[in-house]
Amino acid sequence: MLKIQHMNIANKMSVLDLIEEMGKSGVLGAGKLSKATHLLADSIKDSETAIFLSMAGPLVPGGLRKVIADLIKDGHVDVLITSGANITHDLVESFGGRHYKGIHADDEELCSQGMGRIGDLYTKSEDFEVFETQITEILSKIAEKKKIISIRDFLFEIGNMIEDVNSILKIAAEKDVPIYAPGIIDSMLGLQLWMFTQDNELHLDAVGDMHELSDIVFGSKKVTAVMLGGGLPKHYALASNLLKGGVDAGIQVTMDRSETGSLSGAPLEEAKSWAKAKAGSNLVTVIGDVTIIFPMMVAGAREIINKEK
């Protein structure tokens, strides 16, 4: 048995220096973060590995918008799977809105003041009013060209019609990185789409996404799924790879527990029983807040890659 090596915290340490010290300890959450960071770096470096990144929870309003956008811009994401809410919040910022910090007040009072709360961050209803106006104009332009469209193509069209160079949708469209949002209707964007269809003809073809997605799965020699949070995006990332016996590697960052049998808290090893992860696949689960863990993981992986150039 190997002895645990205690971490040494020195002056002027880089993020990778700290993560490497965690790796020398090698146990509990510190050990898992180190393993996940190196797995992410190895997956990015391997030209034969496609990275499926899934996002659940308020990651865009929670400060990770640029982290995700930069990964796409730098060619480190091959497929993005996300909730409709993260797409909505990306568009809110693209249309000039923001997400805000503040002091928590009574939630009924917040509602009366036109404020919405997500934990300790806030949104303004006036920003969503701008979103509603802008997205309706975009929907009209899409409906002029197509009456039936897959969700992936729908998001690609939106990305091409916005001008915000910092937008996840915009950058993904420019890089031709597909975005899949199987639960898109469960969002403000989905609500606006439904309202638009009351007087206009525009239909989303959810099944249509599977044609391209299955081609990507079969066309990829290896797949690493990086799952931020759980829910539908996590399952879509794993289940799409069921077609070819499961993912070759997986990183999961979650705070959900496994006792209730929920997918969000399910250990990645459980996916092997469904052939959503291959036998012998490299799987790492890090328990923690994605807004803390993932930026550290990305910073460490980038440092590893840059040192080897």
Domain residue ranges of the chain, discontinuous segments joined by +? 15-307
Residue 8: its pLDDT value, please?
Answer: 87
CA–CA separation, 258 and 265 (whole Å): 4
Q: How do the pLDDT tens digits run along the chain, 309 residues long?
A: 778 889 889 899 999 989 999 999 889 999 999 999 999 999 999 999 999 999 999 999 999 999 999 999 999 999 999 999 999 999 999 999 999 987 777 888 888 888 888 888 999 999 999 999 999 999 999 999 999 999 999 999 999 999 999 999 999 999 999 999 999 999 999 999 999 999 999 999 989 999 999 999 999 999 999 999 999 999 999 999 998 999 999 999 998 888 888 888 888 999 999 999 999 999 999 999 999 999 999 999 999 998 876
For the stretch 215-219, contacts whose Cβ atoms lie closer than 8 Å and that sit 24 or more positions apart, written own/partner, are: 216/50, 216/78, 216/79, 216/178, 217/241, 217/243, 217/244, 218/243, 218/244
Structure confidence at residue 184 (pLDDT): 94
- Whether 309 is a known active-site residue: answer no
What is the structure's pLDDT at 257? 86
Spell out the long-range contacts of 139-145 with Cβ–Cβ below 8 A and sequence spacing 24 or more: 139/192, 139/193, 139/196, 139/200, 139/202, 140/196, 140/200, 142/202, 143/196, 143/200, 143/201, 143/202
**What local confidence, expressed as pLDDT, does residue 116 receive?**
86
Position 83 scores a pLDDT of 95
What is the model's pLDDT at position 114?
87
Q: How far apart are CA 60 and CA 129, in angstroms?
A: 19
> What whole-number distance in Å separates Cα of residue 132 and Cα of residue 126?
10
**pLDDT given for residue 128 in this prediction:** 94
What burial class does residue 47 get, using C-beta atoms within 10 Å of its C-beta: 0-12 exposed, 13-18 middle, 19+ buried?
exposed
Annotated catalytic residue within 45, 276, 307, 309: 276
Considering only CA atoms, which of 27, 26, 9 is closest in space to residue 18? 9
15-307 falls under which CATH superfamily?
Deoxyhypusine synthase (3.40.910.10)
